[in-house]
Structure 1
Amino acid sequence: MYPENLIIVWLSLIHMNPEKTPFSFLLLASLFVVLACGEVQTGREIKMGHALVTSHPVHKAMVFLAERVEEKSNGQLRIKVYPNQQLGTERELLELLQIGSLGMTKVSAAALEGFAPTMQVFGMPYLFRDDAHQKKVLDGPIGRQLLLDPEEFWLRGLCYYDGGKRSFYTKDKPIESPEDLQGLKVRVMESNMASNMVRSMGGSPTPVAYGELYSALQQGIVDAAENNPPSLFTSKHYEVCKFYSIDEHTVLPDVVLISTKVWNLLSEEEKTWVQEAADESSEYQYKIWAESTEESLRELEKAGVQISYPDKALFREGVSEMYEQMEAEQPEIYQLIKAIQLVN
């Protein structure tokens, strides 16, 4: 059994049978024995897991990446994509990369906060002036350095994907101002920045795994969530939430990552194939993302979702304290924020 499969079985045992935890730790121990013997995933076929459904444009970009690697290598190197949390949640996938039993993944920059502190900067609401500003930052020296910062945590960034603009969607009423979030349980990613943002606007941040969010909304565990249009549409959360308020509070890129344990086992030629394919998939993803966003908004309206465009100034004002807090408590991240704001 491959190491990543052992981990998947272990995680499943813990999730479904907590009382069998002692046995599961024996299984995990066997995994580390295998890893110690050098049975980490190497070239030939790299496994890539992610949490999104196959209809999502980000999944399509990862399939494109895999196809380009196979073409560039004439079949010598392949990437196999596992969607829809088949191999775990975003956090679990990152942990699998760290020990080298999974080769690649795509996660939101927010999911990287606990692994690479500088990635917190992307969680700052209203950080970018517009799309052109964001693209210039990501394609420039700041963006490139941020991709490499997680290397000390055994994660190497290859490229960014457009993660869209995140806005609130709710079950019972539209969010026209931060005051409308008062008393609402709002699903957030496992991110301190996301929690601080919702809290500063008056809501109650509630972390829920993406794959569990539909049922959490149905059952009233949360009253609202926030995400981009393609994710709202492809997840079918619109079946539960009929109000979508486009305040575009955060613009979080997705990050395509490879385990440094796998990257360091690749030849220079193989590294070139992977990096070039990633860069090409990023260009492709930006294109289909824009198309998907427009289509998703049209489909959401057809499905009866009430889409509104509240005054963003009210929301910017609501999160101003986050910048003051960052300056006082994390001056290094604050300096990074200032450097991003200065990019013309």
Structure 2
Amino acid sequence: MRKFIGGIAVLIPILLLAACGPDGSILGQGGKELKLAHNQSLDHPVHKSLAEFARLVEDKSEGEISVEIFANGQLGSEREAIELTQTGAVDLSKVSASALESFESDYSIFSVPYVFEDYQQFEKAMNNKEVTDRLYLQTEDIGFRALTYYNAGERNLYTKNREVKDVSGMEGLKVRVQPSQTSVGMIESFGAVPTSMAYGEVYTALQAGVIDAAENNETALVNNNHGEVAKYYMYTEHQIVPDMLIMNSARFDRFSEEEQQVILEAAEESTIYHEDVWKETIKENTEIAKNEMNVKFVEVDKQSFIDSVQAMHEDFAQSEKTGEIYKLVKGAAE
């Protein structure tokens, strides 16, 4: 019965997307209307930037190509969105780089704690063509390619009722992590207990004491109301994990070179647009969390956290699977 229900759940969005265009073509497969899935709310900065991408595509193509956005996880989880993009049931999706780890190990580089010392190093790497060509095109043989990235901020620790000043304060804390082996290893290196769970469960888990802490950027405090139950926000700045805009590779290849250029230019320009939207959002959210939700923002001894994960860096650098991307990204960042 569960398998049957699960199959129906996957089939419904696919049927929803298989709408015929005016010429009888299947939109999202042969027509010029693109379907884009993501799991953020309509007021999230990433959604605003995706809406800008859609506007730019239509404008640059003089109305020949349009993009319909399915927000709020309407078409499923991030993993489901990736799988739908692989099969071509949707044309594009916005997913966290960490969600792509299980599809391509190169994406695990973003989960390595402190692989970037600051956001400037991250930008250097993401504006390096050798880095982006490897990351963006590495997955073409499994059904999708990346078009661009969006700043998802620096990930920091927030706790329900414990102020953490250095890594020793992490001892025994139950911390929600993303479904990423690298993130699990990071929390263990900090001396805490990693707990994987869906993002939508974090609020009630913090409230009930199932977990003591989580880690994310400042938008989580306000957009997801985590600041109502988590009263300490520590600037650990342990990861910079971007959001990625991916597209079904066969769908991309069916466009002419001129149309491909339109899509790529729109993606790049939407990333530039996103930087300003993101900075303003973080500023606003921090003020709301501080003044209206009484969240205390704490500076930490970041070096103690950096020291605790050096073994992870050595493992990545020496691994046959991740050594090449680690060296490439570190070299570009520095």
Q: CA deviation at 1:295?
A: 2.0
Partner of 2:60: 72
Cα distance, 1:250–1:25 mapped onto 2, change above 3 Å: closer
Q: CA deviation at 1:332?
A: 4.4
Q: CA deviation at 1:103?
A: 1.1
Partner of 2:21: none
Partner of 2:163: 174
CA contact (8 A) 2:137 2:146 kept: yes
Partner of 1:207: 196
Cα distance, 1:321–1:259 mapped onto 2, change above 3 Å: same
Partner of 1:44: 32
CA contact (8 A) 2:156 2:234 kept: yes
Partner of 1:15: none
Cα distance, 1:317–1:66 mapped onto 2, change above 3 Å: same
Q: Distance in 2 between matches of 1:23 and 1:85?
A: 18
Q: 2:314 aligns with which of 308, 314, 324?
A: 324
3-state SS of the aligned residue for 1:202?
coil
Q: CA deviation at 1:190?
A: 1.1
Q: CA deviation at 1:324?
A: 2.4
Q: CA deviation at 1:24?
A: 5.2
CA contact (8 A) 2:39 2:73 kept: yes
Q: How does 1:1-344 map to 2 (within 5 A)?
A: 19-22=1-4, 25=7, 41-140=29-128, 141-302=130-291, 303-328=293-318, 330-343=319-332, 344=334
Alpha-carbon displacement from aligned partner over 1:139-177 (angstroms, at most 9, x marks no partner) = 112133211112122121001111110000111112222
Identical counterparts, % of pairs: 34
CA contact (8 A) 2:317 2:326 kept: no
Alpha-carbon displacement from aligned partner over 1:24-82 (angstroms, at most 9, x marks no partner) = 547868979x99xx966333221111111222111110011011111112222111112
Judge which range, 54-63 or 289-298, deviates more. Answer: 289-298
Cα distance, 1:161–1:187 mapped onto 2, change above 3 Å: same
3-state SS of the aligned residue for 1:176?
coil
Higher helix share: 1
Judge which range, 213-222 or 250-259, deviates more. Answer: 213-222
Runs of 4+ in 1 over 6 A off after TM superposition: 26-32
Judge which range, 107-116 or 289-298, deviates more. Answer: 289-298
Judge which range, 332-341 or 187-196, deviates more. Answer: 332-341
Q: Distance in 2 between matches of 1:50 and 1:43?
A: 21
Cα distance, 1:47–1:29 mapped onto 2, change above 3 Å: closer
Cα distance, 1:104–1:176 mapped onto 2, change above 3 Å: same
Q: Distance in 1 between matches of 2:284 and 2:198?
A: 26
What is the TM-score of this pair, normalised by structure 1?
0.87
The residue type equivalent to 1:263 in the other structure is: F
Cα distance, 1:197–1:269 mapped onto 2, change above 3 Å: same
Which consecutive residues of structure 2, in runs of 5 or more, have no partner in the other structure? Answer: 19-24
Which consecutive residues of structure 1, in runs of 5 or more, have no partner in the other structure? Answer: 1-18
The residue type equivalent to 1:287 in the other structure is: D
CA contact (8 A) 1:56 1:231 kept: no
Aligned pairs, how many? 322
CA contact (8 A) 1:42 1:266 kept: no
C-alpha RMSD over aligned residues: 2.3
